[in-house]
Amino acid sequence: MTVESTAARKPRRSSGAKRPAGAASAAKAGKAAAAATAQTHVAEPQFVQLLTPEGDRVEVADNPDIAEFAPFVADITTDDLRGLYRDMVMTRRFDGEATALQRQGELGLWASLLGQEAAQIGSGRALRDDDYVFPTYREHGVAWCRGVDPTNLLGMFRGVNHGGWDPTTNNFHLYTIVIGSQTLHATGYAMGVAKDGADSAVIAYFGDGASSQGDVAEAFTFSAVYNSPVVFFCQNNQWAISEPTERQMRVPLYQRAQGFGFPGVRVDGNDVLACLAVTRWALERARRGEGPTLVEAFTYRMGAHTTSDDPTKYRRDEETAAWEAKDPILRLKAHLVATGGADEAYFQELEAESEILGKRVREVVRSMPDPDTMAIFENVYADGHALVDEERAQFAAYLASFEGGE
């Protein structure tokens, strides 16, 4: 069909013609009605919760939606719960120390995880040693679960290295600053895992803001088509820096998975048990060859996006206060106290242990040596590269030109 024939099918309006009175308001009303109708067709969001904000366990009889996931934490012991609580407390203490160090000029920048401890510890403890993690730049709790020394996370933010740890040691990739790109890395790695015939799984972490990136959509497409053993774990902390979720999506985030042909689940991201259970379920699906899963951990970023951000400019105190009442650490503490799983002596002992961690972090950061000038050329390519060798030689010659100069 030609352009002219297409145009011929449309009614033409002369340049001097005017729309009937009230037409503009009627059109606006029609659009509003259509939008309202579209919203009514959105399915009620699923919400997997195993531990209420008050610290009470949710029973399957009270919420049938959790029946598929509850068995994945059915064997959890009091010691397990205490371990999860310790993980969250230690992670929060480290994170708070890192924020303070940045304010004191010891770090150039820091991205806090405050409020997201349950999402990270729950999902992190669901992983096996042979699973592989692709984080963003905020997964300090997952790094803790993978055995990465917390002080190693700080080198990049101090500007003394490009990462600070060997990804192959803990199957924990380096932090990724480019928003959303790690989902593609995870998908490619998972495709390799499948081709190797291994039964391990891969998990990619990203935020609600990153879910709007094209890289994430491409990762969803490839992982679905190739049935890759990957779990996409989205921490929806309600804010993509200063952009709220309602300006990013029309439907609940986890429902996006339907359009790509794999399941999505929304979990209470402040409930460490629910995050543990749902992530275990998703990882088992991947290992059985059932393909990818999108997990949306519905949580909240209690602090700033990074230390260069001021959240008081764009969000209300009432909103933050409402989420403080859902604090993931206080939630599990209430459960431990109510069930006799821990006493005050345990909490005091843990507090003292966290202070020791904070002191060690301060000492290590302040004593980090400046990097060797030529280190910038190391670990760029696994097997070396002729262009990098040439650049290294040129830079060495440039530095040598200053030797003995006045």
Helices (H) and strands (E) in the chain, counts: 15, 7
Kindly name the residue from 125, 305, 331, 335 that is annotated as catalytic. Answer: 305
Spatial CB neighbours of 100, under 8 Å, sequence gap ≥ 6: none
The span from the CA of 260 to the CA of 225, in Å, is 9
* 305 a catalytic residue: yes
User: For residue 95, what are its two tokens?
Assistant: 């994170």
Kindly name the residue from 314, 366, 381, 385 that is annotated as catalytic. Answer: 314
DSSP 20: P
Q: Which amino acid is at 333?
A: K
Beta strand 202-207 with 239-240 is unpaired
Q: DSSP letters of 188-241?
A: HHHHHHHHHT----EEEEEETTGGGSHHHHHHHHHHHHTT--EEEEEEE-SEET
Query: Which among 267, 333, 271 is positioned nearest to 297, based on CA atoms?
Result: 267
* 314 a catalytic residue: yes
Spatial CB neighbours of 194, under 8 Å, sequence gap ≥ 6: 226, 227, 228, 229, 289
DSSP run (H or E) holding 356: helix 344-366
| Alpha carbon 208 to its chain's center | 8
* 381 a catalytic residue: no
| Active site (catalytic) residues | 301, 305, 314
